[in-house]
Amino acid sequence: MIDTVLAWLTEDDWPFEQDDNEFLTAFEGNSGRWNMGLVVLEADNRFICWSYCPVSVPADRVAAVSALVQKANWGLTLACFEFDGETVRCRTGAHPVDQPFDATLLRNVIYENAWTMDLYFPALIAVIGGASPEDALRRVEGG
């Protein structure tokens, strides 16, 4: 699995740093730029991708960001947002059973993650900056 990740990042021309089974890269979408972490868990046959919001959440915005994450997650099917009270990240992953872990699966996991973060990034930044979760979600989801 590590060889697949290494080959795909290299062939797709993604700059990255590797530390054993972990890869650090970045993505720039229409809404901003953020770091991505990729982890290969060979023993468990799992691959996990995280996008990290580059702005820390101040204490006075924790409740609002928690509400945003909860509401955004409700409609997501392949990705989810995680929030530890300071950092927001988007997670996708794969646990291929009875199929190979190949470049297509890897690409789908990484790009689903990047596209999800890109969609919700403006809402995250807006809510961290003081907007209401409901207004921010309406703007990005078009509701």
pLDDT at residue 143, as a whole number: 64
pLDDT at residue 97, as a whole number: 86
* Angstrom distance (rounded) from CA 10 to CA 52: 21
3-state secondary structure of 141: helix
Number of H helices, E strands in the chain: 4, 6
Residue with tokens 């702005």, as numbered in its chain = 55
pLDDT in 10s for each residue of the chain, 143 residues: 999 999 999 999 999 999 999 999 999 999 999 999 999 998 889 999 999 999 999 999 999 999 999 999 998 999 999 999 999 999 999 998 888 889 999 999 999 999 999 999 999 999 999 999 999 999 999 86
Sheet holding 33-41, edge to edge: 16-19, 22-28, 33-41, 46-52, 88-94, 80-83
Task: Delineate the domains of the chain, giving CATH numbers in brackets.
Answer: 2-56+77-121 (3.30.1460.70)
- Count the residues in the chain: 143
pLDDT at residue 100, as a whole number: 85
